[in-house]
Amino acid sequence: MKIGIEAQRIFRANKHGMDYVVLQEILQLQRHDHENEYFVFVKPGPDRCVEDSDNVHVIELNMPTYPLWEQIALPRAARRYHVDLLHCTSNTAPVWGNTPLVLTLHDIIFLEPRDKKNGSVYQNMGRIYRRLVVPRILGKCKRIITVSEFERQNIINKLGIDEQRIVMIYNGYNEWFKSQNGHSEKGGYIFFLGNTDPKKNTERTLVAYANYLKQSDIKRPLLMADLDRSYLDDIIARNHIEHIREHLSLPGYISNADLPNIYQNAFAFLYTSLRESFGIPLLEAMACGTPVITSNTSSMPEIAGKDAILVNPHNDDEITAMLLKLERDTAFYMRQQQVGLSRAKLFSWEKTAQELLGVYKKVGKRS
């Protein structure tokens, strides 16, 4: 088969979750599948992270905006290269065109109620675009892929999609996330991947950290990635937690290549979101032997496992209590290290790509 894969944003310098997923899928298919021919459609960018090979052809398409790229350039290219199916990997797809579609619908958060305090223009425009496009393409899709059983059931229940048309394929994590000998519970900082998206629960997590500082004898610093300073200032002022400032480290965007060292040297990782469709950072931290405190909502118990530290993300006292327990109970800390290491072994990008290839073959036979 000739298989087209939409990977519009993988060449951009500052990649995010969905970019990493499709990038790793492409690299695994390039490595292991030599029967099919792949056409990877991307927007030009500085980080050329996929190169052409015998079975993979990188096609750069230039359009000024995401919607124009997806709705005009992408279907035109799919016709030009005569692909047998087109896999759109980031929740949306072309509304027009006759190429058989496979869609990865990571989540349907854009259909759910949200915190009205979210004033990000970028997030708001993306939400509107998805709300306009997704209902128009679902009927065209030969298969819909999502990334957890939680999200699969959520999509079936809320969108009324036939169970036979939606497939669950877990994400993986990169092999360079691994434990180092000598990882100790005695040092390190607390790591939190918070941002301005309300689902990340940044405000309540910072309140929990403020309470931790008041009760801890060690008072470990908090490392936070990619957080807007004015957003942070508002949270601190609103909750009267000025004392946390001297304990915060805010390096800005952290590249994926730098994350292994950060996880390995962290005392604990906070993944206290209100809502996630999967949660790759959970696996990355666990694979590095770093205990994780995560939420008991949405997909997080499914991915972290029943033996993980699961807290109510709406209750900052629970988050505080688990931080203090990790700090004060060495046996509990070491047990959580082993829980994470064992759990992470169940996931890999190679397994993800094998299951994805199975979907391609089924769709190809029926098209």
Q: Residue 116 has what pLDDT?
A: 54
- CA distances in angstroms from 156 to 105, 141, 164, listed in the order given: 12, 14, 10
Mean pLDDT of successive 10-residue stretches along the chain, which has 367 residues: 97 91 97 96 97 97 95 97 97 95 95 66 82 94 97 95 96 92 68 88 97 97 88 95 95 86 95 95 96 98 98 98 97 96 97 97 82
Q: Residue 86 has what pLDDT?
A: 98
pTM: 0.92
Q: Residue 14 has what pLDDT?
A: 87
- 334: exposed, middle or buried (C-beta count within 10 Å: 0-12, 13-18, 19+)? middle
Per the CB < 8 A criterion, the answer to whether 336 and 309 are in contact is: yes
The CATH number fitting domain 2-172+348-366, selected from 3.30.1300.10, 3.40.50.2000, 3.20.20.70, 3.40.50.720? 3.40.50.2000
Q: What is the domain partition of the chain in residue ranges?
A: 2-172+348-366, 189-344
**Pairing assessment for the beta strands 309-311 and 292-295 based on DSSP bridges:** parallel
* Strand ranges in the chain using DSSP code E only, listed in sequence order: 2-6, 37-42, 56-60, 85-88, 101-104, 141-146, 166-168, 189-192, 222-225, 248-252, 266-271, 292-295, 309-311
DSSP of 260-320, one letter per residue?
A: HHHHHTEEEEEE--S--S--HHHHHHHHTT--EEEESSTTHHHHH-TTSEEE-TT-HHHHH
Alpha carbon distance 297, 7 (integer Å): 30
Per the CB < 8 A criterion, the answer to whether 125 and 43 are in contact is: no
Alpha carbon distance 81, 101 (integer Å): 15
Q: Residue 185 has what pLDDT?
A: 54
State in words which class domain 189-344 has.
alpha beta
> Among residues 89, 95, 97, which one has the least CA distance to residue 145?
89
DSSP 3-state of 141:
strand
- Here the tokens at position 1 are 């088969």
- Here the tokens at position 265 are 């040297």
**What radius of gyration do the chain's Cα atoms show?**
21
